[in-house]
Amino acid sequence: MTRGRDPGNGRQAPDTIERALGHWEGSASRRDFLKTSGLFVFGLSAMGAAGAARQALGSQPAESGPYRDPDFLQLDSWLVVHEDGSATFYLGKTDGGQGIGTATRQMMCDELDLAFDRATVVMGRTDLTVDQGGSGGSDAIERDAMVGRRIAAEARRVLLEMASERFGVPVEELRVSEGVISLNGDPARTVTYGELVGGRRFDVALTGANINQAGGVASVKPVQDLKLVGQSIPRYDIPAKVDGSFEWAVDVRLPGMVHARNVRPPFAGATLTALDESSVRDMPGFLRVVRKGNYVAVVCEREEQAIEAAERLAVTWEKPATAPFPASDDLFEYLRSAEPEPGSERRGAAPVQGDPDGALASAATVVEAAYDVPFQGHTAIGPAHAVADPSDGQMTIYTNDMKPYSHRTGIAEFLGMPPEQVRVIWMEGPQLYGRTAADDAGFEAAYLAKELGRPVRVQWMRHEETAWDTKGPAFAIDLRGGLDADGNLVALDYQARIANYAHVGYNQARTVLIAQLMGLRPDQPSPGGARGPDDMYHVPNRRGETRAVRLPLVFETPLRTGNLRDPNGPQITFAAESFVDELAAAADADPVEFRLRLLRGATDDDEVFRRARSIAVVEAAARAYGWDARPSPGRLGDGPLLTGRGIAYTYRARTTIAVIAEVEVERETGRVRVPRMVCAHDCGLVINPDGLENTIQGNLLHGISRTLFEEVRFDGETVTSVDWRTHPTLTHRDAPERIDVVVVNGDPNPDRPDLRPYGAGEPSHKPVPAAIANAVHDATGVRMRRLPLRPERVLAELAAAGV
- Interactions with other proteins, residue window 322-381 (CB under 8 A): 379-381
Shortest Å distance, C-beta 97 to ligand FES = 5
Minimum Å distance from CB 144 to other proteins? 19
Does 282 interact with other proteins (rule: CB under 8 A)?
no
Order across the sheet with 489-498: list the strands: 365-373, 475-483, 489-498, 541-548
- Residue 736 binds what, of ligand FES, other proteins, none (CB under 5 to 8 Å, by partner type)? other proteins
Is 98 one of the binding residues for ligand FES (CB under 6 A)?
Answer: no
Q: Taking Cα atoms as reference points, which of 756, 763, 525 lies closest to residue 650?
A: 763
Interacting positions 230-259 with other proteins (CB under 8 A): 234-235, 237-239, 241-248, 250-251, 253
Minimum Å gap between C-beta 721 and ligand FES is 16
Q: What is the CA radius of gyration of the chain?
A: 28
680, 615 in Cβ contact below 8 A?
no
Considering CB under 6 A, how many residues would be counted as binding ligand FES? 4
Q: Which of 629, 639, 665, 619 is nearest to 779 (CA)?
A: 665
- Which residues touch 423 (CB under 8 Å, ≥6 apart)? 65, 67, 125, 126, 127, 394, 395, 396, 397, 408
Closest CA to 675 of 737, 624, 726: 737
String of b and e for 111-144 (b: at least 16 CB within 10 Å)? bbbbebebbbbbbbbbbbbbbbbbbbbbbbbbbb
Which of the listed partners (other proteins, ligand FES, none) does 64 bind, with a CB threshold of 5 to 8 Å by partner kind?
Answer: none
| Other beta carbons within 10 Å of 588 | 10
Q: Give me the residue whose beta carbon is nearest to ligand FES.
A: 381
Least separation in angstroms between residue 304's CB and ligand FES is 13
Closer Cβ to ligand FES, 237 or 682, answer by number: 237
Site for other proteins in 381-400 (CB under 8 A): 381-383
- Burial (0-12, 13-18, 19+ Cβ within 10 Å), 713: middle
According to the binding rule CB under 8 A, does residue 302 interact with other proteins?
A: yes
Compose the 397-436 pattern: x for residues touching ligand FES by CB under 6 A, - for all others.
Answer: ---------------------------------xx-----
Toward ligand FES, which CB reaches closer, 381 or 629? 381
Select from ligand FES, other proteins, none the partner in contact with residue 521, using the beta carbon and a kind-dependent cut-off of 5 to 8 Å.
Answer: none
Distance of CA 719 to the CA centre of its chain: 24
Distance CA 297, CA 291 (A): 7
CB of 134 to other proteins, least distance (A): 15
243 binds, among other proteins, ligand FES, none (CB under 5 to 8 A by kind): other proteins
268 contact choice in other proteins, ligand FES, none (CB below 5 to 8 Å, kind-dependent): none
State in angstroms the smallest separation of the CB of 697 from ligand FES. Answer: 11
Nearer to other proteins, 436 or 508 (CB): 436
100 near 140, Cβ under 8 Å? yes
Site string for other proteins, 720-739 (x = CB under 8 A): ---xxx---xxxxx-xxx-x
Does position 27 bind other proteins by CB under 8 A?
no
Query: Is position 430 an interface residue for other proteins (rule: CB under 8 A)?
Result: yes
Beta-carbon contacts of residue 309 (< 8 Å; ≥ 6 apart) = 261, 280, 283, 286, 298, 300
* One-letter amino acid of 110: D
DSSP structural state of residue 177: E
459 touches which of ligand FES, other proteins, none (CB within 5 to 8 A by kind)? other proteins
Binding partner of residue 402 among other proteins, ligand FES, none, CB cut-off 5 to 8 Å per kind: none
Binding residue for other proteins, selected from 16, 399, 459, 546, defined by CB under 8 A: 459
Site string for ligand FES, 224-243 (x = CB under 6 A): --------------------
Instruction: Please report whether residue 256 would count as binding ligand FES according to CB under 6 A.
Output: no
* Three state DSSP letters for 461-520: CHHHHHHHCCEECCEEEEEEEEECCCCCEEEEEEEEEECCCCCCCCCCCCCCHHHHHCCC
Other CB atoms within a 10 A radius of the CB of residue 329 amount to 11
Does residue 662 contact residue 633 with C-beta atoms inside 8 Å?
Answer: no
Pairing of strands 641-652, 655-666: antiparallel
| DSSP assignment string, 35-56 | HHH----TTHHHHHHHHHHHHH
Helix (H) or strand (E) holding 708: helix 689-708
Cβ–Cβ under 8 Å, residues 671 and 791: yes
Complex with other proteins: residue 527 or 562, whichever CB lies closer: 562
Nearest approach in angstroms of CB 100 to ligand FES is: 14
Q: Which is nearer to other proteins, 258 or 784 (CB)?
A: 258
Which sign does the torsion angle of CA 275, 277, 278, 282 carry? positive
Return d(Cα 50, Cα 17) in angstroms, integer: 10
Say how far apart CA 381 and CA 657 lie, in whole Å: 27
Number of residues forming the site for other proteins (CB under 8 A):
61
- Report the run of H or E that residue 526 belongs to, with start and end: none
Q: Assign residue 417 a region (left: φ > 0; alpha: ψ between -120 and 50; beta: otherwise).
A: beta
Least separation in angstroms between residue 739's CB and other proteins is 6
* 599 touches, from ligand FES, other proteins, none (C-beta below 5 to 8 Å by class): none
Which C-beta is closer to other proteins: that of 97 or that of 216? 97
In the list ligand FES, other proteins, none, the entry touching 735 (Cβ below 5 to 8 angstroms by class) is other proteins
Contact partner at residue 723 from other proteins, ligand FES, none, CB < 5 to 8 Å by partner kind = other proteins
Question: Rounded to whole angstroms, what are the CA distances from 301 to 286, 399, 449, 454, 457?
Answer: 7, 20, 13, 11, 10
Enumerate residues 697-716 that contact other proteins by CB under 8 A.
Answer: 697-698, 700-702, 704-705
Query: What 8-state DSSP symbol labels residue 339?
Result: P
| CB neighbour list of residue 58: distance below 8 Å, 6 or more residues apart | 201
Is 462 one of the binding residues for other proteins (CB under 8 A)? Answer: yes
Rank residues 35 and 725 by Cβ distance to other proteins and give the closer one. 725
Q: Which of 92, 97, 383, 761 binds ligand FES (CB under 6 A)?
A: 97
Nearer to ligand FES, 430 or 473 (CB): 430
Query: Interface residues for ligand FES in 374-393 (CB under 6 A)?
Result: 381
Q: How far is the CB of 9 from other proteins (least distance, A)?
A: 21
| Residues within the interface to other proteins (CB under 8 A) | 96-98, 234-235, 237-239, 241-248, 250-251, 253, 284, 302-305, 307, 379-383, 428-432, 459, 461-462, 690-691, 694-695, 697-698, 700-702, 704-705, 723-725, 729-733, 735-737, 739
| Residues within the interface to ligand FES (CB under 6 A) | 97, 381, 430-431
